[in-house]
Structures are given as C-alpha cells and as structure tokens.
Structure 1
C-alpha cells in the first residue's frame, strides 16, 4: 500500500459497471448513514461531466450530485468535493472547471483530444483537493464516473481506477440489475481491470432489485465463488425515488402520473441541445397540480410544435447562441409568438432570459465563433457574453402581480445583460437582489425572465408565478424537504440491505497500519 496515504481519513470509492448504475445515490446513502454514526464524512467526485451545477459559498462551481451528497453528509458545499467539472458545450468539447473556476480556453472549451494531454494537470488538482479533505474529515466517500472498464479511457485515468490507485483506496463496484445482465456486468468489469485494480475491489453491490430475493441467491453464491469477492448487499428498487439528476434529463413525467385531479397549470419547457440546470424544474415536476412537460426535438429535421399550455419556459443553456439557432430552426419562435397571441405567458431562465432579448453578442468567442445572434426580441435588452462567470448564491424579492415574496437561488452565467435606452417604461424589474433590480417583465406582464436558478424552489415564489400564469395552486412543495426524504430513503435502504458490519471490517482491514 501507499505509505504516503493520509492517516487522518479513510477513503472508500464507489465505481459502477455502467453510467446510471446507482453510484450517486449509493454515495449519498452512505454519506447520510455514516454521518448518522457521528462520523465527519465528505463526498468526493474527482471528475464530473455534467451541465447541472451548484454554487458553493466561496463562489465556485461543482456538480449538483456532489451538492446533494454534501447535503446527505450534513456539510456545507466545497469546491474540493468536485475538483474537476466538465461542462459539454459541443459534441467534442467542454468547458473545464478546476476548483470551482473555469480555465481560460479558446471558445470557452477544450476539445476531447486536448483534454487527454491535460489529464496530468487535472490529476494534480484532484489529488490536491483529496489531500485537503483528508485533513478535515474522517471518511471520504468517492463517486466514480461511468465505468472503470472503458478501455479507450484508461490511459491517464482521473475518474476511476486511476484515482483509486493514486490514493490507494478500496473500491466497491455497483451494478444495476434492472437493466439485465448484472452478472456479466460485474464479472466482465472485474476481468477488464489490471491485477492491482482487481485487488482493491473489496466487494459488489447490486442495485434496483425487485422480486423474490431467494431466486437471486444461487446467482450471488456463484458470483462470489467466481470472483472471490463478497456481495455486500442487494438494494431494492426504490419506487418513486426522484432526486437531483447528475446530468440526464428525466424524460418520463413520473411525478405527473400520480395526479388525482386535472392539473391546474400546464407548463412546457423547451429542451435544446445544450440545456443546463434542468433541476430548476424539479419543483414543477413534483407538484400534483402542475403538468410540466419537457418538449424534445429528437430529430433536428422534424419540427415539433409547442402544444397549448399556460406557460412556456426557456431554460438555461451552456451554448446560448447555438441553442437559440436550434430553437429558431425548430420554428419554436413562431410557436412562442402564437402562444403569446392566445394570451399565454413566457418565462426565460438564465440563457433562456438572454434569448428573450434583442441581441446576444459573443465578441470574445466565449462560447462560439458566431459573433452575435439576433434574439427573440421580447425584452428590450442586449447581452454580451464575457469570459468571467457570475457565480453567486442570492436572496431577494420577487415582484409579480403587484405582490412581493421572498425568493432565493443561485446565478451561473457568462453574460451581462443591459436595458436598451428609453425603454424603462415598457418593462419593470422582476426581482430585487441585494437592493438591485434584476430580471425583467414586460408592461403587459406576459413575458418575464431573470438569471435566478432555483426560482421555483421557494414555495411562495412558485405559488405567485403560477398565479401569474393564470392558475391558483393550493399545495406547497419544498424541494429541500423532498430531497431530504429521498436521501433518508436511500440511507435506510443501505442500513437494511447492506452488510455494514462487513463493510466496516473491510475498511478497517484495508487501513490497518
């Protein structure tokens, strides 16, 4: 073992046989479980690729999955929990964020081939963060990325076994039985690892099992005999579990299917290729009186019309000019105009807010080489993209329907929007943040937009926005409470179905002096 390993903290890594195997939820469950045992626990993900991010108290940016896991561990957000965040803004490139801040690159992105050469720098940043956390916490629970058995990504690996080898930590591999082929997944993944990597795998967890566990037991015995690795537990399929997604947009309206009465409000969220922070809409999807639909255009050549609804939302974007062009190619700008003629409301969040203006300029090629793009023209403002991001958690007031309610959230954006001269009478501020006006709403109160992510998460703000949309809702949804309930469900399942005593012993044996 590595004699340079910090003596102050134990590190346990969760890797998966595939993406969406359950790594994020298992890490969250273990963080809550061990925090409940009065251990000082930190979540950690060396490298994350996601368009959903959260803002730390120091003004840094990390993946939302690590924000959820920090909540599970009852610790404040820290950029060290996710030292490398990759935010894709094209098919072949991504913005690279190190210790919470984007590094300067051409067009705001680094090509995948370039990043291969950059991995040494990335690994140094990862180990620096891990070293700092090792001095502050007793246990670090690490989430891998994708699968450790991706042969083409093994060289210079930062996210999985490369990190585990560097810090000399034990690994648990989790697999999703609901997808089928779970034994092939586990055996195949293990066999594709080097001998030293196989040796650090201390056990398996099977996730999302439904049915009679006795029918699985012969397979578990075979797996343990075949691999000489223990199965540490079989987690059940937790129906209705819906927590912040790391990146994949939830396309099935699971939370809308349980409506016992017709929805009071129909909302359509436009989905463009580089849509970001779709967790903004979790409060809408969870609400029993709201029917929130995501409108996809799976084939760019096939136009998908905007259905009749009360409110159309333009979400955030990682490449706002490219996504605005996509929106126009889909003729959604005509659909928005028709929606407005029939009295419907429109709201833009962050990049969607920028699209509602007259012009978006990118003279420094922050996101692309397009230079500038004409906006939808509903709000009398222009936006210029800048290399420096705004990253801040904020609190303020929402002013709507001649009412004011408290609101909180966060801002993540590269643009600065300015009101055009002599247009102040045609709009008013939607928000007041730290005594300053932010966001706009038209004089006819039909079009609104702002930079505030999480605006729907405050129940009073959600109620006011829905009233503006034309419908009264009578129930409140607290995303914080729903997330906490979900975390506790995962933690309870870990406590009940995992052999925690065996896990404790395996960890203790690994870290014996």
Structure 2
C-alpha cells in the first residue's frame, strides 16, 4: 500500500479541496514531506508552474499548503471544458488534444495510465500523497473508466475517507447511499467519514453519527465546523465561498476608511481563471459582484471582463445580453474597464481565428473596438510566468492563452499596461494573477477610485494577499488538528505516532 489517502466526497463542492489542503498543511507542519494529487481535474481555473506546466489551480494551492513545489505530476490530467460536449485535454502539464462527450467512458485509457504513473512517481519522492477525488465516487455510470476516485484507490491501494457537506442537508443519506452503490471491492477501501460545514450544537448531531457508524461499519473521523472567511482557489468558476455574492473582502476596516469601491465581474458562460479577481475581493473596502446584469455593469466603479475558454462565443453572448453596450457606454464616458486574457482579447478591433482554434471553422469577427489591437489565435498555447512592473510596482503573473494581440501601427493615445495596453480608462492584459501583487493591486485600484470619484484609499497596513492565503491554510490545518481524529488519519496514511 502506498503511504497516502484519497479524499472523496458525496458530491461536488462537498469540501474535498479544502480538506485536502488542510491535511497537506497539517502534515507539512509536522515535518512530513507531503504532496497533493488529483488524477483528473475538470476545471477552467488553472495555474502555470515554474517549469511551464499547466495544472489545476486547486492543486497548485494544495502544493502551497504542503510547502511543496507545484508540478505537473500533482494534476496529471486537466480537462478544460470548451463546450457542453467537448473538453480540451492537458496531459502532464501540456496540451494533448480534445475529449468528446461520447468518448468519456472509453477514450481515457492512456490518461488513466499516465495518472497512475504520476501518482507512483510522487509516492517515490514524498512521504505521503494526499489525493483528492472528483465529484462523487458513486457515479456508477462512469465507474468502468474511472481513475480519479475508486479506480485510483484500487489501482494504487489507497484508503478512502468520504467528506459530506451537512450544510446542504441530507448528509447521512448521501454517505450511506455512497457506500451502498459501490461494489464490495470498492467498499473495502472506504475507511471513514468526515462531516463538513457543521453549524450548531454538536450534541444534537451525535445520535446520527453513531447510527451512521453502526449501519456502515465505518467510523466518523470528525466534524469540521463551517469556516467563515476561508476560501480556496475554486475548480468551479466564480464559486469561491469567501466572496462570491459580493463584499467578501470589504470588511469593517475598509468601510471605516471611506467609501466602498464597487467592482462588477462579468459572468461569462465559459469563464476561466476567475481566481484573478479573488485578490480584488480580498482588498478592504472593495465590493466584488459577479453578474450578467447590464445595469450592474453600468453602475459599478470598475467592470472586469475576465478570462474565458471560448472568447468568440462569449463575446457573442456579451452582445446578446446587452452587456457589450453597457461596457461600450462606460468606456465612452471615461469609466474604468479592465479585460484579462480572453476579456482583453474582446476589447480588440478584430479577432481572427484562422486556425479554427476556438471555432468550428475559420472565422474573423469584430471585437468591441475599445483598444486598437488585432487578436490572432494560433494552435500553440503560450504558457509562462512573466514578471514586470507598472507605476513603479513589481508584478508577478502567469499566462495561458492561444490568442495574441498586436497593436495597430498608427494607433495613438495608448500606453503599455503590463503585457497589454491602456487607452483612457480601458486596460487590457493577458497576465493572470497580477492582482496578487499587493503594490500593483493597490496602485491600480487607487487610480480606478480617482477616476470614479470614490473616496477609497488602500489600507496598506492590511495583510497582503499571499499572507491572507497562508493564514487561511493555517486555519484549515488548525481545524484538522482540533476537529478530526488525526491519530486515526495518520494510521490510515501509514504514519507512525
């Protein structure tokens, strides 16, 4: 048996990513060399490692929690949905082709083999590997081709703990039903339960926990409380619990200092790397709202067009919903607009996909015309971790894109903005993650506030974004130590003492 653990869940968003991150930080604080792992991640939120490999954003953060260097083996298969029936495949950090819906059960044997090899590689270099499952292990219609849940557990002989979200209700039925739907060989790997997001009197829950243990023959390894103000870079676009819905980062300190700065983030159907705006939302006095409402876009102090996995179709959607008109009106009035990656590409005069990278056939369409650029899509994906500066502030970032923007030669009234351009109050860049650079974020928002006539000022004494992430990871580890049976978990992972 490999020294490790598989953290499965009764549903998507049950808390697998958070529990995995908490376990990684708890083990790292004990001096254990631990690596996170997810055999297959389906997400448009990704990150570029130092060696240029692309992995899921959640696994990158889990590596930070583990105090390990993020690498492709931690997320060997990344599926990036391009439509409801097609996903782009990233294998060991590099583009590998596409997977159609009809190939879901049969077309993944090579992916499974690479995933198992990646796990074994990590297991040979780390003391423990904490693997995160995907969705539910009881997706019985997909079991034959599964290599991320019980298929992984069987292949590398991992014990499994199942996390259930009690805040949604029905957690006991979900746990019991998960076990009941598995065959006997899969059931043998399920070793315990973790209840997540509990609020209230634990005494009232105890009878149910005892009945669950009696009926399943597996122990409840702990009950984690609902942790407020804890977020984790999400696999699901714009579903970050710490701030989605607006105002997650404003706090009393920001309101005491002056007016709140409002930011509207357009919710594209195929939004990607939406974690770019986490740092904006974490800034005191900044209220971030995710929206598809033209009136909200029109009224905000800053509107953000985030990244997207389908620039052309999401641009068409922007026009159909009346959002494009709201963005154009803002720009005409000199009110701030920011485009990031796909959102930046939409600001161009022309978008050309002659290689049919995003489209079913070659096509050229007009952009919003707010920046004098021409975007061209190429088959080769550009990946990197660039560094730069703006207004004297250092910026670190990462880039993941097929489209490149070229400035029209005779263009006037433009100035550099990171790797992109600004004209008036319109800014565009392909760089993701730039707003995690505290000085740059605060300088940019100060300029936005001045243009918007809002009396917002940055709270320079407030913790920076990286410090907030570290504090969050330590809070998760504290919760693991306080509320879970760490002795039992350590024994499951093959650790002594």
> What's the TM-score once normalised by structure 1's chain length?
0.90
Partner of 1:126: 115
Partner of 2:409: 421
| Paired residues for 1:56-205 under 5 Å | 56-104=49-97, 109-205=98-194
Does structure 1 residue 501 correspond to structure 2 residue 490? no
Partner of 2:394: 406
Partner of 1:232: 221
CA distance in structure 1 between the partners assigned to 2:246 and 2:327 by the alignment: 23
> Structure 1 residue 483: deviation in Å?
1.1
* Worse-matched range after superposition: 85-94 or 140-149: 85-94
> Structure 1 residue 342: deviation in Å?
2.8
Q: Is the 8 A contact 1:263 1:290 kept in 2?
A: no
Q: RMSD in angstroms over aligned alpha carbons?
A: 1.7
Partner of 1:382: 374
CA distance in structure 2 between the partners assigned to 1:254 and 1:343 by the alignment: 25
Identify the match of residue 313 of structure 2 among 301, 319, 322.
322
| Paired residues for 1:419-498 under 5 Å | 419-423=407-411, 425-431=412-418, 438-442=419-423, 445-471=424-450, 472-476=456-460, 478-498=464-484
CA distance in structure 2 between the partners assigned to 1:506 and 1:397 by the alignment: 47
Number of equivalenced pairs: 481
Q: Is the 8 A contact 1:43 1:70 kept in 2?
A: yes
Q: Is the 8 A contact 1:255 1:287 kept in 2?
A: no
CA distance in structure 2 between the partners assigned to 1:31 and 1:241 by the alignment: 16
CA distance in structure 2 between the partners assigned to 1:236 and 1:291 by the alignment: 26
Unaligned runs of 5+ in 2: 451-455
CA distance in structure 2 between the partners assigned to 1:234 and 1:389 by the alignment: 43
Q: Is the 8 A contact 1:263 1:288 kept in 2?
A: no
Q: Is the 8 A contact 1:240 1:254 kept in 2?
A: no
Unaligned runs of 5+ in 1: 298-302, 432-437
> What's the TM-score once normalised by structure 2's chain length?
0.93
> Structure 1 residue 337: deviation in Å?
2.0
CA distance in structure 2 between the partners assigned to 1:243 and 1:22 by the alignment: 10
1:404-435 per-position Cα deviation (integer Å, ceiling 9, x unaligned): 21111111111121112222x3312112xxxx
* Worse-matched range after superposition: 195-204 or 462-471: 462-471
Q: Is the 8 A contact 2:35 2:128 kept in 1?
A: yes
Partner of 1:49: 42
Does structure 1 residue 267 correspond to structure 2 residue 260? no
Does structure 1 residue 361 correspond to structure 2 residue 329? no
1:263-308 per-position Cα deviation (integer Å, ceiling 9, x unaligned): 44222111110111111001111122112221126xxxxx766231
> Structure 1 residue 508: deviation in Å?
3.3
CA distance in structure 1 between the partners assigned to 2:180 and 2:301 by the alignment: 54
CA distance in structure 1 between the partners assigned to 2:440 and 2:279 by the alignment: 11
Q: Is the 8 A contact 2:161 2:192 kept in 1?
A: yes
* Worse-matched range after superposition: 336-345 or 198-207: 336-345
| Paired residues for 1:1-40 under 5 Å | 9-40=2-33
Q: Is the 8 A contact 1:11 1:139 kept in 2?
A: yes
Q: Is the 8 A contact 2:44 2:271 kept in 1?
A: yes
Partner of 1:281: 277
CA distance in structure 2 between the partners assigned to 1:172 and 1:350 by the alignment: 38
> Structure 1 residue 354: deviation in Å?
0.7
